[in-house]
Amino acid sequence: MSIFINKESKVIVQGVTGKEGAFWTQHMKAMGTNVVFGVTPGKEGQNVDGIPVYHSVRRGIQDHQAEVSMLFVPPKFVKDAVFEALDAGITKICTIADGIPLHESLEIRKAALSCGAMVIGGNTSGLISIGEAMLGTIPYWIERVYKKGNIGVMTRSGSLTNEVTAEIVGGGFGVTTLIGVGGDPVPGTRFAELLPMYEADPETKGVVIIGELGGTMEEEVADAMEDKIFTKPLVAFMGGRNAPEGKRMGHAGAIVSGGRGTVKGKTAAIEKAGGKVAKRPSEVPTLLHEFFG
Amino acid sequence: MNVFEYQAKEAFRDNGIPTPRGVVIKSIEEVESAVNEISLPCVIKSQILRGGRGKLGLIKFVKTMEEAQKVAKELFASEYNVQILLIEEAVQMDKEVYLAVTVDPVTSKAMFIACAEGGVEIEILAKETPEKLITVQVDLAEGLGAYHINNLIFGLGLTGDIAKQFGAMARNLYKTFRACDANLAEINPVFITKDEKVIAGDGKLIIDDNSIPRQPKFPLMREYFDTQVEYEANVEGLPFLQFDGDICLMCAGAGLTTTVYDLVSDFGGTVATYAEFGGPNYTKAVRTMELVLQHPSKVILVITFGTIARADVMAQGLVDAIKIHKPSIPIVTCIRGTGEEEAFKILRDAGIEPLTNTEEAVQRAVDIAAGRV
The class that CATH gives domain A1-123 is alpha beta
pLDDT at B30: 97
In order, the DSSP letters of B100-169 are: EEEEETTTTEEEEEEESS-SS-HHHHHHH-GGG-EEEEE-TTT---HHHHHHHHHHTT--HHHHHHHHHH
Would an 8 Å CB–CB cutoff place B356 in contact with chain A? no
Cβ of A159 within 8 Å of Cβ of B304? The answer is yes
pLDDT at A257: 44
Nearest alpha carbon to residue A263 among A236, A225, A228: A236
∠ CA B302-B308-B313, nearest 5°, is 50
Sort out which chain A residues have CB atoms less than 8 A from B356's CB and list them. Answer: none
Residue ranges covered by each domain of chain B: 21-89, 93-214, 227-369
Nearest alpha carbon to residue B302 among B346, A177, B37: B346
- Of residues A142 and A181, more confidence is placed in A181
pLDDT at A241: 87
Amino acid at A114: S
- Residue partners of B254: CB distance under 8 A and separation at least 6: A157, A183, A212, B239, B276
Tens-place pLDDT, residues B226-268: 889 999 998 998 889 899 999 999 999 888 999 999 999 999 9
pLDDT at B206: 94
> Which H helix or E strand runs over B312?
helix B311-325
- Tell me which of A100, A106, A159, A282 to substitute to probe the interface with B (most B C-beta atoms closer than 10 Å): A159
Instruction: Inform me whether the pLDDT recorded for A253 exceeds 50.
Output: no
Architecture per CATH, A142-293? 3-Layer(aba) Sandwich (3.40)
Strands B198-200 vs B182-193: parallel, antiparallel or unpaired: antiparallel
Asked if A64 is an active-site residue, the reply is: no
Q: Dihedrals φ, ψ of B66, to 5°? A: -60, -45
Window B:259-318, CB contacts with A under 8 Å: 259, 261-263, 265-266, 278-280, 304-309
> Where do you find CATH 3.40.50.720 in chain A?
1-123
Cβ of A158 within 8 Å of Cβ of B255? The answer is yes
Tens-place pLDDT, residues A48-65: 999 999 999 999 999 999
Tens-place pLDDT, residues A159-207: 899 999 999 999 999 999 999 999 999 999 999 999 999 999 999 999 9
Amino acid at A151: I
Cβ of B102 within 8 Å of Cβ of A138? The answer is no
- Residue partners of B312: CB distance under 8 A and separation at least 6: B338, B339, B340, B342, B343, B346
∠ CA A145-A148-A154, nearest 5°, is 65
Q: Is A7 helix (H, G, I), strand (E, B) or coil?
A: coil
Tens-place pLDDT, residues B112-164: 999 998 887 777 888 888 889 999 999 999 999 999 999 999 999 999 999 99
Would an 8 Å CB–CB cutoff place A167 in contact with chain B? no
Average pLDDT of chain A is 93
Cβ of A240 within 8 Å of Cβ of B214? The answer is no
Cα–Cα distance measured from residue B170 to residue A161, given in angstroms and rounded to the nearest whole number: 42
Cβ of B243 within 8 Å of Cβ of A244? The answer is yes
Architecture per CATH, B93-214? 2-Layer Sandwich (3.30)
Q: Which CATH number is B21-89's, of 3.30.1490.20, 3.40.50.720, 3.30.300.130, 3.40.1550.10?
A: 3.30.1490.20
Average pLDDT over residues A110-132: 96
Tens-place pLDDT, residues B34-75: 999 999 999 999 999 988 898 899 999 999 999 999 999 999
| A55, A103, A251, A289: the active-site residue | A251
Task: Select the residue of B109, B183, B336 nearest A250 (Cβ to Cβ).
Answer: B183
Q: Of A10-19, A248-257, B23-32, B288-297, which gets the smallest average pLDDT?
A: A248-257
Name the β-bridge partners of B183. Answer: none
pLDDT at A258: 47
The CA-atom distances, in angstroms, between A214 and each of A241, A250, A253, B311 are 11, 8, 7, 29
> Where do you find CATH 3.40.50.261 in chain A?
142-293
pLDDT at A245: 67
The class that CATH gives domain B227-369 is alpha beta
pLDDT at A255: 38
Write down the ipTM of this complex. 0.94
Tens-place pLDDT, residues B106-119: 999 999 999 998 88
- What proportion of chain B, given as a percentage, has pLDDT over 70? 100
Q: Dihedrals φ, ψ of B207, to 5°? A: -85, 135
pLDDT at A250: 31
Q: Say which DSSP state B354 is in.
A: B
HSE of B109 in the Cβ direction (CA atoms, 13 Å)? 16
- The alpha carbon torsion through A250, A252, A255, A259 (nearest 10 deg) reads -30
∠ CA B263-A220-B358, nearest 5°, is 15
